[in-house]
Amino acid sequence: LSRESVHLAGVPARNHLVLAAGVLGTCASSLSRVLHQGAGAVVTKSIGPEPRYGHAGPCVVVLEDGVMNAMGLPNPSRDFVEELSTLVNEPVIVSIFGGNPEEFHEVAGWFAEKAQAFELNVSCPHAAGFGAQIGTNPDVVKACTEAVKEWKKPVWVKLTPNVTDITVIGKAAEEGGADAIVAINTVRAMRISTGLRRPVLGNKFGGLSGKAVFPIAVRCVYELYEACSIPIIGCGGISCAEDVIEMMMAGAEGVEIGSAVVQDPEIFRHIGEELYAPDGISAREIVGCAHV
Ligand code: DOR
């Protein structure tokens, strides 16, 4: 690809590679470091209406082909506004969650000045009251999107793959005024320790990410591209330049990378070196080209 600054659904990004939500938590200096290491933009850990410690451990298990987590949306809530002060004018997308449209509206309001854009987390697979109850109901997804749009910032809506038809939810986000759809959040999953005879995660159930979910993410992006008219950001198991190209061919204008950062903290520089070339073609030429 040609190395170009891009407008990713309203966000002036430095390239097509965005740090996925959650991975580097709520620490401004880690987010800043990833930007310096070549990320085109970064998404924060999801921030909600009240501070939360999250689920009891173990919260993260690294598997052969992926990562399973049940963090439980730990976050400092409104205190994160202060932390974000060091990142003004940087391409930072603030991920937010709530239990209803009013809470989404309230949390977005705290960040309306500092965020370049919002990503609505309506898709955590294991947080009672915040995840599936919201992100599997098209009317609620539409209402949450409309509520946050009142702050006049670009709104990306991150969808769960844990539904029968993801396009129903994508279309609801679009109707609510979303500027982009991010697909996908983690796949609801479980492992059991045969030695301990109990689930390995403290919360029993969690969300699977990493290479294992890449084919699911490609399928979701492909379906959403056919059903919706707003940009799609592909997320789920991307770990090399070829994965980025494949995701774009499915219909993604940009991608988010999460689990791969755990294995390689400099993944953005490494993928960027492989993906971009002085004589490369424009991304426009490949986005959606697999729709034959
Ligand atoms: O897999 C996930 N884990 N997805 C989310 O949206 C939230 C996160 C958590 O905090 O548990």
Confidence class for position 290, pLDDT limits 50, 70, 90: very high
Report which ligand 1 atom has the smallest distance to the Cα of 209: 1
Q: Whose CA is nearest to atom 7 of ligand 1?
A: 124
What is the predicted pLDDT for the residue at 99? 96
Q: How far is the CA of 71 from the centre of ligand 1 (A)?
A: 6
Q: Cα(23) to centroid of ligand 1, in Å?
A: 9
Tell me the pLDDT band of 129, cut-offs 50, 70 and 90. Answer: confident
**Structure tokens, 190:** 């479980």
**Angle of CA points 264, 272, 93, to nearest 5°:** 80
* Structure confidence by residue, pLDDT tens digits, 193-242: 999 999 999 999 999 999 999 999 999 999 999 999 999 999 999 999 99
Reported as half-sphere exposure (CB side, CA atoms, 13 A), residue 232 has a value of 32
Q: Answer whether 145 contacts ligand 1 (Cβ < 6 A).
A: no
pLDDT, average across residues 149-160: 98
Whether the pLDDT of residue 174 is over 90: the answer is yes
Evaluate: CB of 157 within 6 angstroms of ligand 1: no
Ligand 1: residue of 47, 120, 124, 162 to mutate (most ligand atoms within 8 A of CB) is: 124
The predicted pLDDT at position 108 comes to 98
d(C-alpha 73, C-alpha 185), whole Å? 13
Q: For residue 131, is pLDDT > 90? A: no
Q: Is the CB of 187 under 6 A from ligand 1?
A: no
Nearest in space to 38 (alpha carbons), one of 280, 279, 269, 282:
269
The span from the CA of 62 to the CA of 273, in Å, is 27
Region 242-248 average pLDDT: 98
User: Which band of pLDDT confidence, cut at 50, 70 and 90, is reported for residue 88?
Assistant: confident
**Nearest protein CA to atom 2 of ligand 1, as residue:** 124
User: What ipTM describes this predicted complex?
Assistant: 0.99
Strand, coil or helix: what is 41?
Answer: strand
Per-domain residue ranges for the chain?
Answer: 6-54+72-190+213-285
Q: What CATH architecture is 6-54+72-190+213-285?
A: Alpha-Beta Barrel (3.20)
Res 192: pLDDT: 98
Looking at the predicted structure, is the pLDDT value of residue 26 above 80? no
What value does the mean pLDDT take over residues 14-36?
92
